[in-house]
């Protein structure tokens, strides 16, 4: 009986997740001229290419899409490298008070992002970093490091210290031990951390609308809010087509790397 209720609960959660996705796809297919002002449960036509073209080119989603792709890939990878070095320092290097350094870095995930907006905006305005790609990339890397550090450090603590000791006896430096031993052994955890940070940076809206305003600088989620304001009079089909575009990269990343992601999560949970 308990198994039946559990299966029904899971099925209900799946249905609740699929209904909004179904409505998004169906209404993105609807021609703007055929939209009645209420969500359609069945397609009223097939204008998905027109809606996608309007959202991509005319509304400027394309420029922001490419900018977000750069932000997500470069900043996600940079955050993972920095986090792996920090985890190596805390777990392997003989530094004083490693627990203090762990909590200092991990505390970056404990505070709400809203408390950083006013100081960041003032600092960026004074330092000529406002509305620049460099400014957004700096804040994305800093924001992504703490959680990536937490994931990577969890797996690094499971690695036997004898591996490091044997390498040191052979004359290897800490730099060589990190790049030649720990990084290859932590490949799945590094990949899982990168997928997490890629998704987080891609889905960011708060920093995007606060620290940028130019269409070619803004991340795609900020551009989607602009699309919502500019094309509200033409109806949701164009807006939903834009939402469909921005949903694809994270979906593709998870589908393509799901095996690697699951192995990484399993490794960090040990």
Q: What pLDDT is attached to residue 183? A: 84
Helices (H), the chain: 2-29, 48-53, 61-70, 76-91, 98-106, 114-126, 133-156, 161-169, 174-177, 183-185, 187-202, 206-211, 220-230, 236-256, 258-268
Whether residue 263 sits in one domain with residue 239: yes
Question: Which one of 27, 46, 65 terminates a domain?
Answer: 46
CA distance 59 to 229: 11
Whether residue 135 sits in one domain with residue 6: no
What the block records as the tokens of 240 is 């939903």
Whether residue 240 sits in one domain with residue 117: yes
Structural domain total, the chain: 2
Question: Taking 60 as the threshold, does the pLDDT of residue 268 lie above it?
Answer: no
Whether residue 244 sits in one domain with residue 200: yes
Whether residue 183 sits in one domain with residue 75: yes
Whether residue 77 sits in one domain with residue 56: yes
Whether residue 166 sits in one domain with residue 39: no
What the block records as the tokens of 176 is 């060589």
Average pLDDT over residues 216-235: 73
Domain of 114 in residue numbering reads as: 48-268
Whether residue 101 sits in one domain with residue 199: yes
Whether residue 131 sits in one domain with residue 143: yes
154-208 pLDDT, tens digit per residue, is 888 888 888 888 888 878 788 888 888 888 888 888 888 898 899 999 988 889 8
Whether residue 249 sits in one domain with residue 136: yes
Whether residue 220 sits in one domain with residue 242: yes
Q: Indicate which CATH number applies to the domain containing 122.
A: 1.10.3720.10
47-81 pLDDT, tens digit per residue, is 777 777 777 776 667 788 888 999 999 999 999 99
CA distance 52 to 240: 9
Q: Which of 106, 131, 145 is nearest to 222 (CA)?
A: 131
Question: Taking 60 as the threshold, does the pLDDT of residue 231 lie above it?
Answer: no
Question: Which one of 9, 26, 46 terminates a domain?
Answer: 46
Model pTM above 0.85: no
Whether residue 54 sits in one domain with residue 40: no
């Amino acid at each position: 009986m308990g198994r039946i209720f559990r299966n029904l609960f899971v099925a209900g959660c799946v249905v609740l997740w699929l209904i909004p996705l179904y409505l998004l796809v169906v209404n993105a297919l609807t021609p703007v001229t055929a939209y009645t002002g209420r969500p359609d449960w069945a397609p009223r036509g097939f204008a998905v290419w027109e809606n996608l073209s309007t959202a991509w080119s005319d509304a400027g989603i394309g420029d922001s899409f490419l900018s977000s792709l750069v932000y997500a890939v470069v900043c996600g990878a940079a955050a993972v490298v920095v986090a792996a070095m920090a985890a190596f320092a805390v777990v392997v290097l003989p530094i004083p008070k490693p627990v203090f350094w762990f909590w200092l870095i991990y505390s970056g995930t404990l505070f709400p992002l809203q408390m950083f907006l006013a100081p960041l905006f003032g600092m960026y305005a004074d330092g000529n970093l406002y509305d620049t790609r460099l400014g957004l990339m700096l804040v994305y890397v800093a924001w992504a490091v703490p959680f990536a550090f937490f994931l990577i450090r969890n797996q690094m603590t499971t690695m036997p210290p004898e591996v490091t000791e044997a390498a040191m006896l052979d004359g290897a430096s800490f730099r060589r031990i990190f790049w030649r031993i720990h990084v290859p052994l932590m490949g799945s955890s590094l990949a899982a951390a990168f997928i997490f940070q890629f998704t987080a940076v891609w889905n960011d809206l708060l920093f995007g609308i606060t620290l940028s305003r130019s269409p070619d600088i803004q991340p795609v989620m900020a551009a989607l809010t602009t699309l919502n304001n500019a094309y509200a009079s033409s109806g949701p089909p164009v807006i939903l087509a834009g939402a469909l575009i921005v949903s694809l990269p994270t979906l593709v990343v998870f589908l393509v790397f799901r095996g690697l992601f699951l192995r990484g999560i399993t490794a960090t949970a040990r």
